[in-house]
Every structure is written in C-alpha cells, then in structure tokens.
Amino acid sequence: MSSERPFPPGDYDVVVVGSGPGGLQTGYSLGRLGVDHAVLSADDAPGGMFRRFPLFERLISWTHLAADVPRESREFEAHDQNSLLAEEPELRALVTGQMADERRRPAREEMEAGLRAFAERARVRVRYGCPWESTRREGDRFVLGTPDGEYRCRAAVFAVGMTEPWVPAVPGLELEHHYVHVETSGDRYRNRRVVIVGKRNSAFEVGEGILRHGLRELTLVSPRPPDLGRLARSPLRPWYLTAYDEHVRGAPGRYVLDASLERVERGAGGYRVHLLDPTREDPLVLDADDVIAATGFRAPLGDLPELGVATVLDGRLPALTPLWESIGAPGVFFAGNVTQAAQGLRKHGVASVSGMVCGFRYNARILARHLAETIAGKQRAQEVLDAERVVPYLLRELDRAPELSIQKGYLARVLRAARGGMVDEGILPLEVFVDGEEDGVAATLEFDATETIRPVVYSRHRGELHELALPPHPLRRYDGLVYGEALEDLLAPLLGRR
C-alpha cells in the first residue's frame, strides 16, 4: 500500500464510512463503476468486526473448498459465503486461500486475512485512521466531519457495522457485563456460577466457550424462547448447544430459561439476578459470580438520528427502504450487516440474510449500481432478451444464480417488458419489483410456509401482479420441463403470445 493517504477532505459524489466487508464491497463496486467517491475508516486496517469477533468460534457461514465448480466462477459464490465479490476472476474466492484445512467454516483470523487480501489485491483504497465524527446537511449535500477535515457528498453510505455493545435497560445490568469484555483464555470462569443474558448466537457461543473451562453453573436467560426449529437446522447446532442439551436432559447447574430480567443486584462477592417468568407467580432469583450480557450490538449511528434517520429494534438499527436508504433521511444509505434492517416481503416471517457477508455483499453491489445511476448519472448497458430466450434465461438463473439461492425471498432476477422481448434489469430487491409499476417478471427462490425452498415467479402484465410458486425439487434443480412449461404459460401474455 502506498504511504500517501488516499481521499483527502473535499467534495465527492459518494462518501463511504467503514472498512469492514460492507465498506470494502461498496468501495470496490463504486470504483469499478467509476463513481467519484471516498472511503473513510476509523480503523487502521481492513476487516471490521472480524478483526475481533467471534471471540471463541469459527464463523457460521460456509466455504466449501471441494465444490465441483471452478473457484473463479459465479456459481462458486454459493459454495463460498465468505469471500467478497469481484468482476476479475483472480480476485474472487480469496477467503479460500486463507483456510488452513478442509474444515468448512473459516476461523476469525482466516476471514480477516481474506478481507485483507481482497483490500490489497483489488486495491480498494481507504483513508484509514479517519473517523467519521459528525454529520450535517448543507443544501443538497451532506457534510461529514473528521479530524482530517470535512467531506462533502451527495450521498453518504454508512457501513459501520453493529459494533456498539448494547445492553437492555435493566437496573444493574451495565455495559461492563457485555460480551465484548469476556475473557477468552485461562481460568477466569473456573468453578464459577455464570448467568448469561441472551439466547442468540453470541450467548450460546460464550456458553460453549466457557463451559470448556470447568464452569460450576451456567444459566442462559432471556424472555424469548430459543428458536429451536431454527437452531436445529443452524450451523450452531453441533458447536454451541451443549448448554441447551444439558438443560433439556436435566443436568444440575445447567439452565436455559425463558424469563425477563427484572434487576441485577451486586452483593458481597457476586450478584443476585431477579427474574420474572410470565408463566409463574413467584419470582426466580439466581446467585451468580459473573453476569455476561450477550445482548448484542447496535449500529453506531452517531448523530444520524438528528438528521431524521428513523430506527427500529430499540434504536439499534436504522429503518431502511428496500434499497437500503434511510427512512426519514433520504440520501443517507447503509451497507454491511446493518442492511438486515431492510426486511423485504418477509413472507412467512422469513428474514433476509443481509446480516451475513454472503447476503450483504450482494446488497452492496446493487447499492453501488443504484448510486452510480441515481447520483453519478451513469447509464449501464442494458441487455435485451428476445422473447424465446426469456424462459431459458430465467430457469438458468433460478438454477444457478448465487444471489437467489443465498438471499432467498429478498433478491430476484428482474426483467422489464419491452417490445419483442424483455430488458434485463439485473438482480434487485424483490420488493422493488413487486411494489413497482412496470410490467415485467421477477424470479426468486423462497422458503414456503413449511420452510421448503421453491422457485417463485412474479409477473406484472398491464399493471396486474401475479405470483406463481413453482414446485420444489429435491436436488434444487429448476431446469426441468415442468418449470419451463409453467413459466411459458405465466409469461405468454407478457411475451405477446396470447
């Protein structure tokens, strides 16, 4: 890397804040599209959260080294959820080069090395050591204050992660109890009674991590029951669930409770944790040597709420449009795992995977294109598909497109109706098509009410929207006759065939 720091203060079309996977993917994609931009980061090196987390365990996203497609291919993205996206084949799948063995999920430091390799080899320029400190509006510009000076831009993209420790407002539960302060080595928790507040990934991760060090008692507690259906199918199952398994089988000193935390009292040499279980009249009281709040993180939104950025989930995430623009502050965009706040159609309650690199890398690429078109005024070449190519093209996308198989129900291949065929609009959030006006078709993969994966195709003809759920396939291959015929039938009016 050159010693000259890039992106001095000044005027840019777009300013990106952050150098984790979201910031790197956005910076890379804006660069490829030739958009005038700057990338700023408070850190001194790329990697974001992966420079420190997860504390104990490997990532929960897979990289299958032995996949049967070339690592440089687009199809490999479905086998490799952790590498950032590149147009150049030699810059793809860079996390694979960091993995020491055939274990399917990278360790934290392998992920960090993969991101660093991407930043270096793709020459993603970032002004490191330049924290964003303040934001204000000035006419049609945003002004971002940093110690180096002011950055003016027409659109600002915040890829700041979920990095601020968050604890709920419970008397006695403090930031000092947060997951980030857990000690990962040695005998810190040996022979101790530990209460972990929370029952999501980080709670089970810490529980598993410290169980290895001779814990006397472990209790996990939060109001929401663990989502067992989801956990049973999740990559957490084999690694994190010892505590739950032992609770279910009645092991003394292992408890997983559904109760709300009333207060935490500090006493001589320990804590008293007061719980309220809505199904019982009498309160529950636990004595503990340590309390760990595995209660998650919030996006460090700084002064953005003063600009009108509306938030959800206890103010932890910004409320977003389908294209990741702030609800309440147009021109303010988000990238990275904060994009999980855009929920999409959320059919049957299924959320996007925008909280994971595999999902938000696509969001960032789509956002960069959206900014290139709307802010930088760059038109992209649009491919027109002849009528007879439309159905085979859509089937191939349903069969192979990694965007669709990863961001189920959130991203879709969208074609717009045109004379003599259809125009490829690219991969877009499904909601953009469904709630739009234009005639066309959007093909996606979704979980149905029984959590079976099936292709679903939405078409709009003369303003009328149709939804067609196609049958599932046991090997998830959607190129057979049944799919072709159903699509031909659905699209006949759009393709001028009747």
Partner 1 sequence: MDTHAVAERLAQLTLFADLRWPELEAVAHAFDEEVFAEGQRVLRQGITGGAFYVVLDGEASVVVDGVERTRFGRGEFFGEISTLTGDVPSADVRAETLLRCLVVPGPELEAFLLSHPAVMLRVLQAEARRLRDSNRWH
230 binds partner 1 (CB under 8 A): no
Residue nearer to partner 1 on the CB measure, 148 or 277: 277
Distance CA 358, CA 77 (A): 8
Contact residue for partner 1 among 1, 69, 248, 312 (CB under 8 A): 312
CA 192, chain centre distance (Å): 35
In order, the DSSP letters of 134-187 are: EEEEETTEEEEEETTEEEEEEEEEE---S-EE---S-TT--GGGBGGG---STT
Contact residue for partner 1 among 278, 377, 437, 475 (CB under 8 A): 278
39: amino acid identity, one letter: V
Distance CA 342, CA 321 (A): 6
Cβ distance 9 to 150 under 8 Å? yes
Residue nearer to partner 1 on the CB measure, 63 or 407: 407
Residue nearer to partner 1 on the CB measure, 129 or 223: 223
Distances in whole angstroms, Cα of residue 218 to Cα of each of 56, 63, 195, 215, 254: 17, 32, 6, 7, 5
266 binds partner 1 (CB under 8 A): no
Only one of the segments 100-108, 172-180, 245-253, 340-348 lies at the binding site for partner 1 (rule: CB under 8 A); that segment is: 340-348
Residue nearer to partner 1 on the CB measure, 347 or 400: 347
Residue nearer to partner 1 on the CB measure, 29 or 340: 340
Angle at CA of residue 58, ends 56 and 59, nearest 5°:
125
Residues 6+ apart with CB under 8 A from 367: 26, 29, 157, 323, 324, 333, 335
Only one of the segments 33-41, 144-152, 306-314, 380-388 lies at the binding site for partner 1 (rule: CB under 8 A); that segment is: 306-314
List the helix and strand counts (H, then E) for the chain. Answer: 11, 23
Q: Phi-psi region for residue 205, left (φ > 0), alpha (ψ -120 to 50) or beta?
A: alpha
Residue nearer to partner 1 on the CB measure, 225 or 496: 225
3 state DSSP class of 280: coil
Binding mask 451-480 for partner 1 (x = CB under 8 A): --------------xxx-x-----------
306 binds partner 1 (CB under 8 A): no
Contact residue for partner 1 among 29, 82, 163, 222 (CB under 8 A): 222
Residues 6+ apart with CB under 8 A from 58: 103, 105, 106, 107, 108, 239
107 binds partner 1 (CB under 8 A): no
**Cβ atoms within 10 Å of 72's Cβ, excluding its own:** 13
**In the complex, what is the shortest distance from the CB of residue 249 to partner 1, in angstroms, rounded to a whole number?**
24
The set of long-range contacts for 226-230, using a CB threshold of 8 Å and a minimum separation of 24, is 226/199, 226/256, 229/451
313 binds partner 1 (CB under 8 A): yes
Only one of the segments 95-103, 221-229, 353-361, 437-445 lies at the binding site for partner 1 (rule: CB under 8 A); that segment is: 221-229
Cβ distance 151 to 9 under 8 Å? yes
In order, the DSSP letters of 424-452 are: EEEEEEHHHHHTS-S-EEEEEEEE-TTS-
Size of the site for partner 1 (CB under 8 A): 37
Only one of the segments 147-155, 234-242, 341-349, 413-421 lies at the binding site for partner 1 (rule: CB under 8 A); that segment is: 341-349
Contact residue for partner 1 among 164, 321, 373, 486 (CB under 8 A): 321
73 binds partner 1 (CB under 8 A): no
Q: Tell me the Cα Rg of the chain.
A: 24
Only one of the segments 55-63, 108-116, 131-139, 217-225 lies at the binding site for partner 1 (rule: CB under 8 A); that segment is: 217-225
142: amino acid identity, one letter: F
Only one of the segments 24-32, 212-220, 321-329, 354-362 lies at the binding site for partner 1 (rule: CB under 8 A); that segment is: 321-329
**In the complex, what is the shortest distance from the CB of residue 167 to partner 1, in angstroms, rounded to a whole number?**
11
Contact residue for partner 1 among 250, 349, 377, 474 (CB under 8 A): 349
Distance CA 344, CA 359 (A): 13
Binding mask 175-214 for partner 1 (x = CB under 8 A): ----------------------------------------
284 binds partner 1 (CB under 8 A): no
386 binds partner 1 (CB under 8 A): no
Looking up tokens 């960091």 gives 98
**In the complex, what is the shortest distance from the CB of residue 328 to partner 1, in angstroms, rounded to a whole number?**
7
Q: Which residues, numbered 420-449, are part of the site for partner 1 (CB under 8 A)?
A: 434-435, 446, 448-449
> For 140, what's the count of Cα atoms within 13 Å in the CB-facing half-sphere?
5
Residue nearer to partner 1 on the CB measure, 56 or 458: 458
Only one of the segments 9-17, 106-114, 128-136, 347-355 lies at the binding site for partner 1 (rule: CB under 8 A); that segment is: 347-355
Contact residue for partner 1 among 60, 107, 180, 276 (CB under 8 A): 276
For 305, phi then psi, to 5°, come to -55, -30
3 state DSSP class of 261: strand
Chain positions contacting partner 1, by CB under 8 A: 168-169, 222-225, 258-260, 276-278, 310-315, 319, 321, 327-328, 343, 345-349, 434-435, 446, 448-449, 465-467, 469
